Amino acid sequence: MRREKFEELVTRALDDLPQEFQEKLENIAVVVEDWPTPDHLASLGLRHRSELLGLYEGSPLAKGGGRQPTLPHKITIFQKPIERIWRSEEEIMRRVGETVRHEIAHYFGISDERLSEIEQQKGR
């Protein structure tokens, strides 16, 4: 998929967030990169670059990150791992949306463990 099209999917996923969340997004950059760097992987204890679909970098709002003058929060969505796992445009679009929501949750201070609990509750 062309980068422009993939970036449009990321923008659409951000636009699809509930208004109450959109209003609270401040000082945050959302970017698309092809692959995570070795440093990204090492910081998370991952070995293979296709394991990381997105990454939030910053101090989560729940920990006071939104009140301190800091560098912008950053969310990176990695295009190539998503495309490597999912092939159809529909699947890619769905996974981009999930990945963006997942990383936005980290921005709001929600841990991976809590996200898993929420997903399990939704499945019931």
Per-residue pLDDT of the chain (124 residues), as tens digits, is: 999 999 999 999 999 998 988 898 988 999 999 999 999 999 999 999 999 999 999 988 765 554 555 678 999 999 999 999 999 999 999 999 999 999 999 999 888 888 778 777 766 4
Residue from 91, 62, 56 nearest 75 by CA:
56
Q: Which domains does the chain have, with CATH numbers?
A: 3-123 (3.30.2010.20)
Query: Would you call 32 helix, strand, or coil by DSSP?
Result: strand
Tokens of 83: 């495309």
Sign of the CA dihedral with 10 first, then 15, 18, and 22 last: positive
Q: pTM for the full model?
A: 0.86
Maximum alpha-carbon separation in the chain? 41
Q: Which of helix, strand or coil describes residue 70? A: coil
- Kindly report the CA angle at 46 between 71 and 33, in degrees rounded to 5? 50
Measure the CA–CA gap between 75 and 54, rounded to whole angstroms. 7
Are the C-beta atoms of residues 81 and 53 closer than 8 Å to each other? yes
